Amino acid sequence: MSKKLRTKDLVKLGWPKRAAGLAINVLATRFKRESDEWRHATLGNLLAHPDNFVSDQNWGGVATALGGRAPEEAGSYITPEILKSPGDFSIFESKAGIAPKAVQQLYDAMRLPVAAAGALMPDAHHGYGLPIGGVLATVGSVIPYGVGVDIGCRMCLSVFDLPGELADNDQSRLASILQRETAFGLQTHDRANDHPVLEDDTFQLLKTAKALKGKAARQLGSSGGGNHFVEFGQVELETNNAFGRPAGSYLALLSHSGSRGMGAKLALHYTDLAMKECRLPKHLKSLAWLDLAKDSGREYWAAMTLAGDYASACHDDIHQRISKALAEKAMVRVENHHNFAWKDRLPDGRDVIVHRKGATPAAKGELGIIPGSMADPGFIVRGLGNPASLNSASHGAGRQLSRSEAKNSITGASLRDLLKERKVHLIGGGIDEAPHAYKDIHEVMAGQQELVEVLGVFRPKVVRMA
């Protein structure tokens, strides 16, 4: 070149300073021998059409700095107009109350132009994206972060034809079974079992899922951290119960966990994709959605379905291992999931996608289990199909203290005293999961008498957590 090209020369031609600096560096290190004419033509083309260079091994970084997007991304995003006021939504509140932050989160979600209906369950509290205990119906779209990170998280209850008194009188043996047959957090089983879910075609059809199959196989039958648990307890059934079993107290096993590392990776990948395709204001960006008429939306739906099936498979494995250790098959099994999206139809005839973030499906006749805490009862329920709640109910008691608040206000001594009083044997767990951190489950259940009817009671006795 007759004159050495500098960063400030490109800036004068309209280049952003960062992109100009990158371009000069590329020229100096990779194209020293090219002619002045070639350099000027290439730089002019790059500035005018950065999208065409995003995938170029030499110019990709410069093109991205110029605002270029890959061909499949270019022009594919939307910037929706947020409604000035939200649509109406229902709040099912108990005496325990619902924090204003949780209400505000659903208020914000109902301002999305795709929102059709919403509801807050009595266990609702502040979460990420949608509130925990929040239900949102959208038209033609799915919100990955509205489903949540732990896709398909669920409760699973097995009731055995064994006396419930065993949960009080044989706690050492039951605790040993839990320690031997369950794995939490980073733990995996020494001998992983096989399951048909690992042969699901989606693992081959989706690159995102294929890359996670090994992790899924290793973590099969394990549980996460936080509020996830596997516990023995007593189920009390009344006369003429829905299961056709004699009234009485039975030994039962209840588990709560989700899709493990695979579900989390898929959730974050598609949430990031949604944010690229759907540009929302900063305070709403986690509510970005994917259009189900597009490949990205259909791909997420397939990934979400796979993660939900995998979560169910994990519970299958947990209950199979423990049933084998007990040498007893379950006579009753109840399973329900949250952190998922369902296709449904509103009373006005609109087809919608119902997101339940920490909320239990409660269509008319649908069975579920709503736990309390490590020392409070859970309830076997049957849905009443209330359209105002979008056929939903709470998925638990709901937190009244954040994890940090619980750690700062609850003592180890108070937790130990409560567990001793309730005759609960705890393995693992922590102050942040103490019963004191949760709302009163009895008040929560009283707040949803229009949503579910109680069929039985589960009382935890031997509890394992991370």
How many distinct helices (H) and strands (E) make up the chain?
16, 17
* Angstrom distance (rounded) from CA 172 to CA 168: 10
Q: Chain-centre distance of CA 104, in angstroms? A: 20
CA distances 323 to 32, 71, 374, Å, are 71, 53, 21
Residues 6+ apart with CB under 8 A from 331: 159, 160, 161, 243, 245, 250
pLDDT tens-place string over residues 278-314: 999 999 999 999 999 999 999 999 999 999 999 999 9
436 is in an annotated binding site: no
Residues of the chain with pLDDT > 90, as a percent, come to: 86
Tell me: do 442 and 327 sit in the same domain. yes
Tell me: do 233 and 375 sit in the same domain. yes
In a domain, 168, yes or no: yes
Domain boundary among 27, 46, 65: 65
Confidence of residue 173 (pLDDT cuts 50, 70, 90): very high
Confidence of residue 341 (pLDDT cuts 50, 70, 90): very high
pLDDT at 235: 99
In a domain, 423, yes or no: yes
Residue 147 has pLDDT above 70, yes or no: yes
256 is in an annotated binding site: yes
Tell me: do 384 and 250 sit in the same domain. yes
Confidence of residue 394 (pLDDT cuts 50, 70, 90): very high
pLDDT at 211: 96
DSSP E strands: which ranges in 313-451? 330-337, 340-345, 351-357, 359-361, 367-370, 378-383, 392-394, 425-427
371 is in an annotated binding site: yes
pLDDT at 32: 82
Tell me: do 328 and 185 sit in the same domain. yes
* Angstrom distance (rounded) from CA 7 to CA 260: 48
- Please work out, in degrees rounded to the nearest 5, the angle formed at the alpha carbon of residue 77 by the alpha carbons of 53 and 131: 130
397 is in an annotated binding site: yes
DSSP E strands: which ranges in 287-443? 290-291, 330-337, 340-345, 351-357, 359-361, 367-370, 378-383, 392-394, 425-427
Question: Considering only 53-67, 101-115, 329-343, 439-453, which range has the smallest mean pLDDT?
Answer: 53-67
Residue 151 has pLDDT above 60, yes or no: yes
The residues assigned a catalytic role are 395
Containing structural domain, residue 162? 154-257+308-335+362-465
pLDDT tens-place string over residues 6-16: 999 899 999 99
Sign, Cα dihedral of 244, 250, 256, 262: negative
Tell me: do 45 and 181 sit in the same domain. no
* Angstrom distance (rounded) from CA 315 to CA 457: 21
Tell me: do 221 and 366 sit in the same domain. yes
Domain boundary among 40, 65, 90: 65
User: Which own/partner pairs from 126-129 qualify as long-range (CB within 8 Å, at least 24 positions apart)?
Assistant: 126/99, 126/101, 126/102, 127/102, 127/357, 127/358, 128/286, 129/105, 129/286, 129/287, 129/357
Tell me: do 317 and 443 sit in the same domain. yes
373 is in an annotated binding site: yes
Tell me: do 312 and 430 sit in the same domain. yes
Q: What is this structure's pTM?
A: 0.84
pLDDT at 51: 80
Tokens 């709503």 belong to 370
365 is in an annotated binding site: no
pLDDT at 72: 53
Q: What is the mean pLDDT of residues 160-184?
A: 98
Q: Are 230 and 320 in contact (CB under 8 A)?
A: no
Rounded to 5, what percent of the chain is helix, strand, coil? 40, 25, 35
* CATH number, domain with residue 177: 3.90.1860.10
315 is in an annotated binding site: no
- Please work out, in degrees rounded to the nearest 5, the angle formed at the alpha carbon of residue 352 by the alpha carbons of 140 and 83: 70
In a domain, 158, yes or no: yes
Dmax over CA atoms of the chain, in Å, equals 97
Q: Around 285, how many Cα atoms within 13 Å sit in the side-chain half-sphere? A: 9
pLDDT tens-place string over residues 56-79: 889 988 988 898 776 555 457 899
pLDDT at 1: 40
In a domain, 74, yes or no: no
pLDDT tens-place string over residues 98-132: 999 999 999 999 999 999 999 999 999 999 889 99
133 is in an annotated binding site: no
Residue 160: closest CA among 239, 251, 242, 237 = 251
Tell me: do 325 and 423 sit in the same domain. yes
In a domain, 58, yes or no: yes
- Which amino acid is it at 445? M
Antiparallel, parallel or unpaired: β 425-427 and 452-465 = parallel
Q: Are 218 and 315 in contact (CB under 8 A)?
A: no
Mean of the per-residue pLDDT values of the chain: 95
Q: 3-state DSSP call for residue 242?
A: coil
pLDDT at 75: 54
CA distances 115 to 105, 112, 133, Å, are 13, 5, 17
Tell me: do 195 and 60 sit in the same domain. no
Tell me: do 49 and 159 sit in the same domain. no
193 is in an annotated binding site: no
Q: Chain-centre distance of CA 223, in angstroms? A: 14
In a domain, 293, yes or no: no
Residue 341: closest CA among 155, 156, 199, 130 = 130
Tell me: do 41 and 162 sit in the same domain. no
In a domain, 121, yes or no: no
Split into its structural domains, the chain has a count of 2
150 is in an annotated binding site: yes
In a domain, 87, yes or no: no
- Please work out, in degrees rounded to the nearest 5, the angle formed at the alpha carbon of residue 166 by the alpha carbons of 161 and 172: 135
Torsions phi, psi of 134, nearest 5? -100, 140
Q: Are 77 and 92 in contact (CB under 8 A)?
A: no
Q: 3-state DSSP call for residue 459?
A: strand
DSSP states along 114-171: TEEEEEEEEEEE--SSSPEEEEEEESSEE-HHHH-SSTT-EEEEEEEEEETTHHHH-H
Question: Considering only 32-36, 113-117, 164-168, 396-400, which range has the smallest mean pLDDT?
Answer: 32-36
229 is in an annotated binding site: yes
Compute the chain's Rg from CA coordinates. Answer: 27
Domain boundary among 17, 44, 65: 65
Q: Are 188 and 215 in contact (CB under 8 A)?
A: no
